[in-house]
C-alpha cells in the first residue's frame, strides 16, 4: 500500500512552501515519524515527518515550490528494509568492537544537546560525524563538527560509552536540540585503558610521521560543499584548514575558480594582448558573489509586485511639526522610564493617533474580501521591522485599548523577537493597518507599498529642522513628512486626506491623544 504525503497547512495566511532540503533519499527505507525534509515558508521553517514506515519515493525536488495540500512524496508501506550485506570489519571497527566487549552497559543514557555557541546564533548545521553510530567514545573525544553562520565548532563527548546518532549530517538543529545519545558504560580496567591510550597515541604519532591523509582530508562540510557547487569549484582544488584538512565554510567562501590557459595558446594570447591594450584597465580586485534568494525574500518580492499590480494604490502627503511631542518627551522621559521601565518613543504617539483616526475613518481600517468590504471595529497595528532575514511585520493587537507604556513595551518585545528570528506566525498575521518608519534610516520622503490585504499604510520619515512660517513669522521647527499609501478602490480622496489631516492635528497637539478630542 502506497501512502501519499501532502504538504500540511502550516499557517492561516500561508498558501505555499518551498522544499528546503531532503534528509532522506529517493528509494531509501524510512521509519515512522522520521524527519524526511525541511519545508520553508515566507515566515518559518518546518520539518516534514514520515506518516508510516516504508520505502520513500520523492515527488518534488529541493528548491521546488508547492501549494498547501500538494503531494510531496509517497511511502510504500508494504516494502521492507533490505538486508545489508555484511562486509569484513575494518581494523577500526574491530578495535571498537573489542572495546565495547570489554565494557559493560550501566543502563543509563546521556543525552547530548546542541550547546550555546554565540549570543546571536539560534541554530547550527551538523557538518559531519567524526565518530560512527555504535562507536565506543571516551569522555571529551571529538565526535562531530557543527557549522554556524559564523564559524565551525567541534562537539566533544560528555561521557564515556556507546555513541548513538540522533541527528543526520547536514541537518539543521536549534540551540538546545537533541543531537545524540551516549549509553554509559563501566570502563575497562586501568591497565587496559592505559595500554589502549598508549597504543592510540603511538598510532596517531605513526600516522603523523608518515604524513598520510585520512578520510577527512579534502572533504567538504555540507555548507562548504553547497558554496563550492554554486561557484563551480572542484573540492579537490581547495586546501582545507579544518580538522584533519577538512574544507570548512570559510575555505569555500575564500575559494576562487582557477582557469589555466592552454600552453599552446599562451604565447599567442600574450602577443595579442600586447598589441591590443585597452585605453584604461580596471585596477585592483573586482570580486562579486552570487547567493540563492531565500524563501522569505522571494515571498516578499512576489507580494510587493502583486500589490502594485492588483491594487489602485495612491499616496498622499502631509507634514507634522514634531516640536510639541519632542518637548513632551524631553520633559517626562526620565519619569516615564523610571515608572514603566521602558523608553518613551515616537511610536506610541503615532500608534495612539492612528487608532483615533482609524475609528473616525473606518474605510482606512478596512479590507476587500472578494466582492465585499470588511470593516474592523478594532485596531491591530502592524509595525514594519527590518530583521536580518528581511522585512517582517509583527502586529500589536487591540492597540486602541493599550496605554502609551503598554504600546512601547509591545514594540520592544516584537522588535527583539524579530531581530532574533523568533517571531511566531500568529504574531505576524492579521493586522488591519501598518506603520513603517523609514526615518530611522534617514529617509526624507517615500511612497510605502500597502501590506496586503490591508487597505493603507502610513510612512514616517526623518525629522529635519526647516524654516516655517508661523503667524507671519519665520521659525525653525523640527518637521516630519508623513505619507499615506492607500487602495483607491475602497478609500476615496476625502477619506485619505482627512485621515492624514487628523493624524497631523493629534500629533501637533498631544493633549488631544489623552483627551480623545
Cite the active site residues. 488, 492
Question: Distance of alpha carbon 364 from its chain centroid, rounded?
Answer: 32
N- to C-terminal Cα separation, the chain: 69
**Cell numbers of 470, please?**
508661523
Calculate the alpha carbon distances from 186 to 162, 181, 193 in Å. Answer: 11, 16, 12
Which run of H or of E encompasses 497? helix 493-508
DSSP assignment string, 414-470 = HHHHHHTT---SGGGS--SEEEEEGGGGT-S---PPP-TT-SEEEEEEEEEEEEEEE
324: helix, strand or coil? helix
Q: CA–CA distance from 70 to each of 30, 51, 67 (Å)?
A: 21, 15, 6
Q: Which three cell numbers stand for residue 278?
A: 585597452
Give the SS3 label for residue 323.
Answer: helix
CA distances from 426 to 123, 311, 352, 396, 432 (A): 22, 25, 22, 11, 14
CB 172 within 8 A of CB 187: no
Nearest in space to 93 (alpha carbons), one of 63, 136, 61: 136
Burial environment of residue 511 by CB neighbours within 10 A (0 to 12, 13 to 18, 19 or more): exposed
Q: How far is CA 482 from the centre of its chain?
A: 31
Can you point out the beta strands (E) in 236-365?
Answer: 313-321
Listed residue (111, 179, 198, 118) closest to 151, CA to CA: 118
Q: Are 5 and 75 in contact (CB under 8 A)?
A: yes
Q: Compute φ and ψ for 287, nearest 5 degrees.
A: -75, 150
* Helices of type H across 136-280: 190-210, 222-231, 249-254, 263-275
Give the SS3 label for residue 178.
strand
Nearest C-alpha neighbor of 424 from the set 44, 7, 39: 44
Q: What is the C-alpha to C-alpha distance for residues 64 and 48, in angstroms, rounded to an integer?
A: 15
Amino acid at each position: 500500500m502506497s501512502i501519499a504525503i501532502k504538504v500540511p497547512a502550516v499557517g492561516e495566511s500561508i498558501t505555499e512552501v518551498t522544499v528546503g532540503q531532503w534528509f532522506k533519499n529517493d528509494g531509501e527505507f524510512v521509519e515512522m515519524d522520521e524527519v524526511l525534509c525541511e519545508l520553508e515558508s515566507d515566515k518559518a521553517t518546518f520539518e516534514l515527518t514520515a506518516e508510516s514506515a516504508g520505502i520513500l519515493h520523492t515527488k518534488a525536488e529541493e528548491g521546488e515550490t508547492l501549494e498547501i495540500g500538494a503531494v510531496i512524496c509517497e511511502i510504500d508501506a508494504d516494502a521492507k528494509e533490505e538486508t545489508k550485506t555484511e562486509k569484513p570489519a575494518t581494523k577500526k571497527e574491530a578495535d571498537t568492537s573489542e572495546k565495547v566487549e570489554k565494557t559493560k552497559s550501566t543502563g543509563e543514557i546521556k543525552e547530548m544537546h546542541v550547546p550555546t555557541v554565540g549570543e546571536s546564533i539560534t541554530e547550527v548545521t551538523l557538518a559531519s560525524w567524526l565518530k560512527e553510530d555504535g562507536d565506543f567514545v571516551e569522555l571529551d573525544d571529538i565526535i562531530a563538527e557543527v557549522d554556524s553562520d559564523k564559524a565551525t565548532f567541534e562537539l566533544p563527548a560528555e561521557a564515556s560509552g556507546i555513541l548513538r546518532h540522533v541527528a543526520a549530517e547536514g541537518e539543521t538543529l536549534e540551540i538546545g536540540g537533541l543531537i545524540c545519545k551516549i549509553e554509559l558504560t563501566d570502563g575497562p580496567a586501568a591497565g587496559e585503558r592505559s595500554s589502549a591510550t598508549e597504543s592510540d597515541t603511538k598510532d596517531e604519532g605513526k600516522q603523523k610521521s608518515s604524513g598520510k591523509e585520512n578520510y577527512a582530508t579534502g572533504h567538504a562540510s555540507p555548507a562548504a560543499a553547497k558554496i563550492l557547487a554554486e561557484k563551480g569549484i572542484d573540492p579537490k582544488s581547495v586546501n582545507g584548514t579544518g580538522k584533519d584538512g577538512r574544507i570548512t565554510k570559510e575555505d569555500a567562501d575564500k575559494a576562487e575558480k582557477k582557469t589555466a590557459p592552454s600552453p599552446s595558446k599562451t604565447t599567442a594570447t600574450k602577443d595579442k594582448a600586447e598589441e591590443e591594450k585597452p585605453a584604461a584597465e580596471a585596477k585592483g580586485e573586482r570580486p562579486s558573489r552570487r547567493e540563492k534568494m531565500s524563501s522569505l525574500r522571494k515571498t516578499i518580492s512576489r507580494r510587493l509586485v502583486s500589490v502594485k499590480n492588483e491594487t489602485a494604490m495612491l499616496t498622499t502627503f502631509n507634514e507634522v511639526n514634531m516640536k510639541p511631542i519632542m518637548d513632551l518627551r524631553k520633559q517626562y522621559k526620565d519619569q516615564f522610564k523610571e515608572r514603566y521601565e521602558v523608553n518613551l518613543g515616537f511610536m506610541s504617539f503615532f500608534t495612539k493617533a492612528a487608532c483615533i483616526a482609524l475609528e473616525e475613518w473606518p474605510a482606512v481600517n478596512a479590507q476587500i474580501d472578494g466582492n465585499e468590504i470588511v470593516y474592523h471595529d478594532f485596531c491591530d497595528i502592524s509595525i514594519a521591522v527590518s530583521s536580518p532575514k528581511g522585512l517582517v511585520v509583527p502586529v500589536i493587537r487591540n492597540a486602541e485599548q493599550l496605554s502609551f507604556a503598554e504600546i512601547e513595551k509591545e514594540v520592544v518585545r516584537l522588535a527583539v523577537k524579530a531581530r532574533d528570528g523568533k517571531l511566531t506566525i500568529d504574531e505576524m498575521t492579521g493586522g488591519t493597518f501598518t506603520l513603517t518608519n523609514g526615518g530611522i534610516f534617514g529617509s526624507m520622503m517615500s511612497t510605502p507599498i500597502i501590506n496586503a490585504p490591508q487597505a493603507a499604510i502610513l510612512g514616517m520619515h526623518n525629522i529635519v529642522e526647516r524654516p516655517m512660517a508661523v503667524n507671519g513669522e519665520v521659525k525653525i521647527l523640527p518637521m516630519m513628512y508623513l505619507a499615506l499609501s492607500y487602495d483607491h478602490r475602497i478609500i476615496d480622496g476625502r477619506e485619505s486626506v482627512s485621515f492624514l489631516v487628523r493624524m497631523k492635528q493629534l500629533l501637533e497637539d498631544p493633549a488631544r491623544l489623552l483627551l480623545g478630542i
